[in-house]
Amino acid sequence: METIYEKTATSPVNIAVIKYWGKRDTTLILPTNPSLSVTLSQDHLHSKTTIRASSDFEKTRLWLNGVEDVDIEKNKRLQNCLRETRRLRKEYEEKLRKDKGPDKVLPLSEYNLHICSENNFPTAAGLASSASGFACLVYTLSQLYELPISTTELSKIARQGSGSACRSLFGGFVAWEMGSKDDGSDSQAVQIAPRDHWPELEALICIVSDAKKGVSSTEGMQTTVNTSTLLQHRIEHVVPVRMKYMIDAIHERDFQKFAEITMQDSNQFHAVCLDTFPPIFYLNDVSRAIIRMITEYNSTNSEKKLKAAYTFDAGPNAVIYTTSENIPELINLIAKYFPGNDDVKNYFFDPFQLFVGKTIGEQPLPLGFNDQIIPVFPKGSVKQILHTKVGDGPKVVNHTIAN
């Protein structure tokens, strides 16, 4: 049996605060507007990919969450990523042959691959699983192939798998520059600020549904491009201004500005979905109730400053950004109005021990909060609350060479 070369890595989820929705080139995955996201900690949300290469493998195979995809040749986005990383590996091998001699170079670009990828969170439920998945695929390949390439250059390959994947190759706060060239060579991700730039910023994720969404992002966004007049206004007049203000807010650690733009952009993204024909509905009654709850929570601040910001990607699950001091109040609010099932640890795992000796959902409400703003929803309407922070980019888990 020939040697098997293996690499395993994990990649994070990113949640956009300026949304990407629409492609100007569906093959190269070039966006109609720039976008900006926060990379979340991999402690709770990540994709994990193991890739093996061997001259013994008869064909390249892929397993996703334990199930083999038998039609990977038809998966154009996967093939784009494999083709581009193999091309770079082949170029690197040719350079090494010139430098070291032909017998000193391992021809990994010629080997078939066995790829095993899994998410530790619901796939296709609006939590950017394709972004973390393709970022992990491309990053793991780059490590297996030992590619001498920058993260920004690597982001151009990940983008061809899933647009938002380019942003999951960086930690912290990340912009996807839309670019203007037809070949996509300037459509790339860049880091705006690192993970530790804003240590007080944290996030709560409310898992409203772990089911696959009815309209995929790929299908939905192109229907929007073809039918929504509001999208054209957003592309031309709204996003460029918001990008500038959001980058300033992050650099200045200005939560008031950050929160306001985050919620406005989430609202407009879903308004654009409603302006699509036929309309696309990603939010449900629980999602809308969370919006009302956060709006009421922000009104309790005597200084009239925002304390929390909701955002929703293409799905009903809420991400709530806030600062550290507000986390216990918000968790308690969510648990009061959207109580979990009887398995408390599965509903809310308390990694930072915020509720030692206390029962979540039964603590006093913030002073001035209107407790009639929304009804108490049935148990399980929010299946899980995840408390997380800003995180780093992809990382290698281990490296094994097996005989």
277, two tokens? 């024909």
Within this chain, do residues 303 and 182 fall inside the same structural domain, yes or no? Answer: no
CATH of the domain at 169: 3.30.230.10
**Which strands, in side-by-side order, build the sheet including 188-193?**
14-18, 35-39, 173-177, 188-193
> 236 and 375: one domain?
yes
Q: Answer yes or no: do 283 and 357 share one domain.
A: yes
- pLDDT recorded at residue 2: 81
The per-residue pLDDT for range 255-308, each reduced to its tens digit, is: 999 999 999 999 999 999 999 999 999 999 999 999 999 999 999 987 889 999
**Residue 13 maps to a domain:** yes
Asked whether residue 401 is assigned to any structural domain, the reply reads: no
- Secondary structure class of 367 (helix, strand, coil): coil
With a CB cutoff of 8 Å and minimum separation 6, the contacts of 328 are 354, 355, 363
Asked whether residue 394 is domain-assigned, the answer is no
Single out the residue of 176, 191, 252 nearest to residue 23, CA to CA.
176
Q: What is the pLDDT of residue 358?
A: 81
| Domain match, 191 and 207 both | no
Does the pTM of the predicted model rise above 0.85?
yes
Domain boundary among 141, 168, 197: 197
Averaged confidence pLDDT in the chain:
93
Instruction: From 171, 197, 223, give the residue that closes a domain.
Output: 197
Q: Are residues 294 and 377 in the same domain?
A: yes
Q: Are 336 and 376 in contact (CB under 8 A)?
A: yes
The answer as to whether 124 is a domain residue is yes
Domain that holds residue 141: 5-197
Q: How many structural domains compose the chain?
A: 2
Strand order in the sheet with 318-323: 308-312, 318-323, 201-207, 384-389
The whole-number pLDDT of residue 399 equals 54
Q: Which of 166, 197, 228 represents a domain boundary (last residue)?
A: 197
Q: Same domain for 134 and 188? A: yes
In a domain, 155, yes or no: yes
Q: Which residues of the chain have pLDDT under 70?
A: 1, 122-128, 399-403
Do 164 and 282 lie in one domain? The reply is: no
Q: What is the CATH number of the domain that holds 339?
A: 3.30.70.890
Torsion, CA 339, CA 214, CA 77, CA 153, rounded to 10? -40
Residues 240 and 162 in one domain: no
Instruction: Measure the CA–CA gap between 35 and 190, rounded to whole angstroms.
Output: 11
Contact 11, 161 (CB under 8 A): no
For 27-47, the pLDDT digits (tens) are 999 999 999 999 999 988 899
